[in-house]
Amino acid sequence: VAPVGGEHFLQTPGPSNVPGRVLRAISRPTIDHRGPEFAGLTKRILDRLPAVFGTSSPVVLYPASGTGAWQAALVNTLSPGDRVLAFETGHFARLWSGLAERLGLVVDLVPGDWRHGVEARDVEERLRADRNRQIAAVLIVHNETSTSVCSDIEAVRAAMDAADHPALLLVDAVSSLASMAVEHDRWRVDVTVSSSQKGLMLPPGLGLTAVSEKAVAAAKRSTSSRGYWDWEPVLSANAAGMFPYTPPTNLLFGLDEALDMLEEEGLPAVFARHQRHAAATRAAVEAWGLELVCVDPSAYSASVTAVMLPGSSDGDRVCAISRDRFNMSLGIGLGRLAGPVFRVGHLGHFGDLALIGTLGGVELALRAAGVEVSGDGVRAALDMLA
Ligand SMILES: Cc1ncc(COP(=O)(O)O)c(C=O)c1O
């Protein structure tokens, strides 16, 4: 592959582009994690991070990817043999429920077509039918990164209330946090799971869980073996700005800087920017004459757009051409969508000009891959941004 000039465009839906400011913060010399400077750093982060989750509850950080945070949510609150209700909205919903099964939980995975979000009506019906109140938790992926379909967590919570069911609500906000509004408190979510490499604009390596009082109370009863994932020692060490193990100090430098950036822009402006870029991307897809994976306009994702290709066109080939000729990484289709689908990430450290460059690269890659496009997608996006 011949070298291509210019910056690499990392337009996968996570990891996302890491801002220079954050990279510079991460490159600082590592400090002693038992000293006062580190305690100040932890406190600054833990004071400010809950706002991004829409909560005043604590957020527990792990040196882990999102999968580790999934596990933490399950093993802290549930016990082997507990029943959980999950919805197959896409690849990540499947993976999370697969992990739950491997941890000894009994999963009711409601099948889905990977093009719609969770139906609140379904949640209510299934919880009402659980007369003995055996379902211990409902698992929902807020933004399905594989399909770019969002599920309405507020409606799920309302359905749980309508069924008067005491199950915990566990939500994966891995690709929505810091890109879309996540309202842990208002939606009365018990555990919100996320990770560093998407809206938070950091490299991979931090897993996060926001935990409600009800979740902390459930943790006192759960009998899963938690090992490393136990919240309790983290929460107690955090009170003094410490961790019960050697923390990922340099990622925490980065997180401190990323929180500064989110505060400077303001979360409402961050969310509006993501919505705008998602709308402009969809305008481009429509102008190209291609189809979105998401078929429900009320469920469009603001951080990623999954695009369906016609006939025998191959999404992997579009992604390979984009990478090799234009120095841009796109997301390939995952699981059941491998082959006909590719995904454009428009999240995190991203602006109008980067979006236009991204869509220009997509259009070039589509043409080079021989995908017939009917119109000028970049022009449609420009018109929308203007
Ligand atoms: C919605 C969602 N949940 C969970 C994960 C798993 O996170 P990780 O790959 O960081 O373990 C991902 C990864 O992309 C994701 O998009």
Task: Spell out the SS3 assignment of the chain.
Answer: CCCCCCCCEEECCCCCCCCHHHHHHHCCCCCCCCCHHHHHHHHHHHHHHHHHCCCCCCEEEEECCHHHHHHHHHHHHCCCCCEEEEECCCHHHHHHHHHHHHCCCEEEEECCCCCCCCCHHHHHHHHHHCCCCCEEEEEEECEECCCCEECCHHHHHHHHHHCCCCCEEEEECCCCECCECCCCCCCCCCEEEEECCCCCCCCCCEEEEEECHHHHHHHHHCCCCCHHHCHHHHHHHHCCCCCCCCCCHHHHHHHHHHHHHHHHHCHHHHHHHHHHHHHHHHHHHHHHCCEECCCCHHHECCCEEEEECCCCCCHHHHHHHHHHHHCEEEEECCHHHCCCEEEEECCCCCCHHHHHHHHHHHHHHHHHCCCCCCCCHHHHHHHHHC
CA distance 177 to 174: 6
Calculate Rg over the CA atoms of the chain.
21
What does DSSP say about strands 9-11 and 206-211: parallel, antiparallel, or unpaired? unpaired
Structure tokens, 272: 């509006």
To which residue do tokens 């980065």 refer?
254
| Rounded mean pLDDT, 52-70 | 98
Task: Give the nearest ligand 1 atom to 144 CA.
Answer: 1
Are the C-beta atoms of 218 and 169 separated by less than 8 Å? no
Give yes or no for residue 3 having a pLDDT over 90: no
Give how far Cα 353 sits from Cα of 9, 226, 358, Å.
12, 45, 8
Q: Provide φ and ψ at 22, rounded to 5°.
A: -70, -40
| Rounded mean pLDDT, 263-288 | 98
Confidence of residue 94 (pLDDT cuts 50, 70, 90): very high
Say how many Å lie between the CA of residue 380 and the centre of ligand 1.
Answer: 31
What does DSSP say about strands 149-150 and 135-141: parallel, antiparallel, or unpaired? unpaired
Mean pLDDT lowest among 3-7, 246-250, 297-301? 3-7
Give the residue, out of 16, 145, 209, 343, with the most ligand 1 atoms within 8 A of its beta carbon, to mutate for a pocket test.
Answer: 145
To which residue do tokens 């698992």 refer?
139
CA distance 102 to 304: 29
Task: Give the nearest ligand 1 atom to 195 CA.
Answer: 10
% of the chain surpassing 70 pLDDT: 100
- What does the angle CA 335 – CA 337 – CA 339 come to, to the nearest 5 degrees? 105
Say how many Å lie between the CA of residue 37 and the centre of ligand 1.
Answer: 32
User: Ligand 1 in contact with 309 (CB < 6 A)?
Assistant: no
User: Ligand 1 in contact with 175 (CB < 6 A)?
Assistant: yes
Say how many Å lie between the CA of residue 174 and the centre of ligand 1.
Answer: 6
To which residue do tokens 């566990």 refer?
170
Structure tokens, 12: 């996968």
pLDDT per position as a tens digit, 102-137: 999 999 999 999 999 999 999 999 999 999 999 999
Q: How many CA atoms lie within 13 A of 316 on its CB side?
A: 6
- What does the angle CA 270 – CA 58 – CA 183 come to, to the nearest 5 degrees? 40
Give the residue, out of 151, 175, 176, 337, with the most ligand 1 atoms within 8 A of its beta carbon, to mutate for a pocket test.
Answer: 175
The reported pLDDT for the residue numbered 293 is: 98
For residue 152, give the nearest of 126, 129, 132, 124 by alpha carbon: 124
CA distance 85 to 105: 10
User: Ligand 1 in contact with 66 (CB < 6 A)?
Assistant: yes
Task: Give the nearest ligand 1 atom to 207 CA.
Answer: 10
**In the predicted model, what is the mean pLDDT of the chain?**
97
User: Ligand 1 in contact with 25 (CB < 6 A)?
Assistant: no
pLDDT per position as a tens digit, 147-171: 999 999 999 999 999 999 999 999 9
User: Ligand 1 in contact with 65 (CB < 6 A)?
Assistant: yes
Say how many Å lie between the CA of residue 284 and the centre of ligand 1.
Answer: 26
The reported pLDDT for the residue numbered 4 is: 82
| Rounded mean pLDDT, 175-187 | 98
Confidence of residue 5 (pLDDT cuts 50, 70, 90): confident
Mean pLDDT lowest among 90-94, 175-179, 202-206, 310-314? 310-314
pLDDT per position as a tens digit, 20-35: 999 999 999 999 999 9
Are the C-beta atoms of 252 and 204 separated by less than 8 Å? no
| Rounded mean pLDDT, 213-236 | 97
Give nearest CA residue, ligand 1 atom 8. 66
Say how many Å lie between the CA of residue 303 and the centre of ligand 1.
Answer: 13
The reported pLDDT for the residue numbered 1 is: 66
